Structure 1
Amino acid sequence: MPVQAVIFDLDGVLIDSEPVWEEVRRAYVADRGGRWLPDTQERLMGMSTDEWAEYLATDLIDGVTAEQVAYEVIDQMEQRYETELPVLPGAEAAVRRLAEYRPLGLASSSPRILIDLVLGKLGVSSLFRATVSTEEVDRGKPEPDGYLTVAARLEVPPGGCVAIEDSSNGIRSAHAAGMTVIAIPRPAHPPAPDALRLAAHVAGGLDEVTPELVASVHR
């Protein structure tokens, strides 16, 4: 099956947002007398809004609701992005390069308001034919729901898609959907070895991700 679409993740692929998420959520937990556990950040990566808000409200902080956590944390993230967007090297060029090659989708664990804000500030909103937040599907990453929904909206089979991911849960999600995965690990939060083995190719950065590479790794 030829490549019919390319699907980007957002956090850790187009923007270096995980450190911002971690800083904001750590401070939020600390300000409310909560406890940040050694595996908290790894657990949070890939969770949908409902999932991470429930986790913070239930496991880390007392006396808050998941709805309150989600609203307040997302509001702080929006303010941070408005001030300074942590764009990764080659992000805009990679999106434009691959948009000329195949239709683009995006499957992100970020809430819808942040997806739209980031793509708008990058100036690439119109290049994505379908974008999905995992808050809009039943289950977040590593489950395949987000990627399957993007493929359906693009009207292409999952097996015809190449996904670009950085995290363990993201790689597992795209692979579980039946997609070919190009991994671009982030040094601060490298994927687990078993997850990385699911990727068809491991790239050092977005500049390596060309139409030629996408076509060559697709299975």
Structure 2
Amino acid sequence: MSVQAVVFDLDGVLIDSEPVWEEVRRGYVAGHGGRWLPDTQERLMGMSTEEWAAYIASDLVDGVTAEEVAYTVIDQMTQRYTEGLPLLPGAEDAVRRMARYRPLGLASSSPRALIDLVLGKLRVESLFQATVSTEEVEYGKPAPDGYLTVAARMDVPPGRCVAVEDSSNGLRSAHAAGMTVIAIPRPAHPAAPDALALAAHVAGHLDELTPELVEVVHR
């Protein structure tokens, strides 16, 4: 049962975007007189646009709609990315290295506009056979919808895919889809032990992601 595809997450795997998301969303909540709760950032990680915008509008800020939240936050994220991508070390090399090995997919909680902006600025959009935003499926991570959809679009069984993830909800999502998972957790947002245990391998950085490693962990 050989590997047929490698599926990347975006936030926290290719770009160090979680601090930017947190800063922008915290700023939005504070600017509207809202309350940022101790577990807010952890809860938001992996949510689709519809889910996190609704959470902010219903639980953190009064007097705004989910649509207003999403529009303002995504607009600010677009501006930040346009000014400069928080690219993680080895990201572009890892994408190009794995693209020479197998077809690539991407399953991200970011909205479609930001996925396309990031891949375009990296000049790697043509290397991905399929990309899916969780705003395009029914449920965000930790549900498996995004990973199942990208596998279907690539016409590859999920069990023949290896996913590269960092967050607790992302690891749970890829594992629930039936994929072999390689974890590259971010020190600033460490994955929960039970989620990390779902990974077939835990790597320290993207330079460790090689075809040889993928072949070994998928056996």
TM superposition score normalised by structure 1: 1.00
Secondary structure of the corresponding residue to residue 190 of structure 1: coil
Give the match's secondary structure for 2:36.
coil
Structure 1 segments, 4+ long, off by >3 Å, are none
Paired with 2:123 and 2:213, the residues of 1 have a C-alpha distance of: 24
User: Which residue pairs with 1:44 in the alignment?
Assistant: 44
- Residue equivalent to 1:177: 177
Q: State how many pairs are aligned.
A: 219
Alignment of 1:120-159 (within 5 A): 120-159=120-159
* 1:167 positional shift: 0.1
Superposition RMSD in Å: 0.4
**What residue number does 1:163 align with?**
163
Q: Shift of residue 201 of structure 1?
A: 0.1
How many Å separate the matches in 1 of 2:117 and 2:105?
A: 16
Q: 1:206 aligns to what?
A: 206
Equivalent position of 1:29 in the other structure: 29
Distance (Å, rounded) in 1 between the aligned partners of 2:11 and 2:41 = 13
Write out per-residue CA displacement over residues 24-43 of structure 1, whole angstroms, 9 at most, x where no aligned residue: 00000000000000000000
What is the CA deviation profile of residues 2-56 of structure 1, one whole-angstrom value per residue up to 9, with x for unaligned ones? 1000000000000000000000000000000000000000000000000000000
Deviations 1:146-185 (A, max 9, x none): 0000000000000000000000000000000000000000
Structure 1 letter corresponding to 2:163:
A
Aligned residue type for 1:80: R
Gaps of 5+ in 2: none
Distance (whole Å) between structure 2 residues aligned to residue 153 and residue 5 of structure 1: 12
The two structures have a TM-score, normalised by structure 2, of 1.00
Question: Once the two structures are aligned, what percentage of the paired residues are identical?
Answer: 83
Q: Shift in Å at residue 84 of structure 1? A: 1.0
Q: Which residue of 1 aligns with 2:53?
A: 53
